[in-house]
Structure 1
Amino acid sequence: MPYYETVFVARQDLSEAQVKDLTDGYIKIIEDAKGKIHKTENWGLRNLAYRINKNRRGFYVLIESEVEAPAIHEVERTMRLNEDILRYMTIREDELSQGPSVVMDKSSRDSDEAKKQLKSGKAVIANDQQDADDRAQAKAAEAEKAKASLMDEDALSAEKEAEAKAAEKDAEDEAKAAKKAEAKAAKKAEAVEEEGEAVEASAEEAPAEESEEKKDA
């Protein structure tokens, strides 16, 4: 039996389930004619090259079959009478391709490439985040170092201030001690002066007494 590739485009407002029901109906026609289905692919909702019956997009479906021509004619007649089908086309092939079609293979490659790009993008974001974290940690360390240095300076300043206050107190104590010593020396000098005056007075009184004694004699 000959091989056929049939592609049809369904209206954009159908659901996935409705598109599957349409596909199953065409498969049943082929299988009822003793044909064999080699592959079916739903290419999803895609943009149309031009608007068809107010539709800008449509569901693309591929059916690869091995069946006699009358069954394909019946499939095409059914599609032509169905308002849900915008376009259809059937090509006879000498042999069918193995594996996914070019459209599905490209979609798979695009998906893989998108996944790679997403993974690469996530890696870049992770690296950027790590760099940002490293910079934040470095700035935090610098801030802590500056804070510690400032605290050391404050401690050193406080220590110097304490030393200055202690020196000032020592100077005040020394000044007080000097004043006390000065007052004590002054008091002592005053006492010595008073004692000297007393001695002088006593010395002056002694000759006077001797003179009076001589007169009496």
Structure 2
Amino acid sequence: MRKYELMLILNPELGDAGAATLLGEIKAELKTIGTVIEKEDIMGVKDLAYKINNSKTGYYALYNLGLEKGDFFAVTNAFNLKKDIWRNMFIRLEETK
């Protein structure tokens, strides 16, 4: 199983309840392609290195994922259509020997 890391920056104006709802939708979309969520780290609102949408803060979430085979492009495109997901990045982690 290949290991991935997903970092998300969400609109901080969602608040904890709104972010939890959006993150639930994101997890459902990830599961449609067969992703196993191994670890979830919701960091909350943090300062950004630069402004995004005229905001100095963003709501951060980090996921460690496992996936046999799959296509993240469909999920990434769905993320790009959601206005409250400001940034997303998938990183494939190296295999440990």
Q: TM-score range with shorter-chain normalisation?
A: 0.7 to 0.9
Radius of gyration: which is bigger? 1
- CA drift at 1:95: 4.3
The reply on whether 1:86 has 2:62 as its aligned counterpart is: no
Instruction: Tell me the C-alpha RMSD between the 2 structures.
Output: 1.6
Taking structure 1 as reference, are residues 12 and 69 closer, same or farther at Cα in structure 2, changes over 3 Å only? same
Unaligned runs of 5+ in 1: 97-217
TM-score when normalising by structure 2: 0.86
TM-score when normalising by structure 1: 0.41
Give 1:76's aligned amino acid. T
Do the aligned residues in 1 keep the contact of 2:34 with 2:70 (CA within 8 Å)?
no
Looking at secondary structure, tell me which structure has more helix per residue: 1
User: Matched residue pairs, number?
Assistant: 95
Unaligned runs of 5+ in 2: none
Structure ranking higher on relative contact order (CA contacts 8 Å, 6+ apart): 2
Residue in structure 1 matched with residue 70 of structure 2 by the alignment? 69
Looking at secondary structure, tell me which structure has more strand per residue: 2
- CA drift at 1:21: 1.6
Taking structure 1 as reference, are residues 26 and 33 closer, same or farther at Cα in structure 2, changes over 3 Å only? same
Amino-acid identity (%): 27
Taking structure 1 as reference, are residues 95 and 29 closer, same or farther at Cα in structure 2, changes over 3 Å only? farther
Secondary structure of the 1:28 match is helix
The runs of 4+ residues in structure 1 deviating greater than 6 Å are none
Do the aligned residues in 2 keep the contact of 1:39 with 1:64 (CA within 8 Å)?
yes
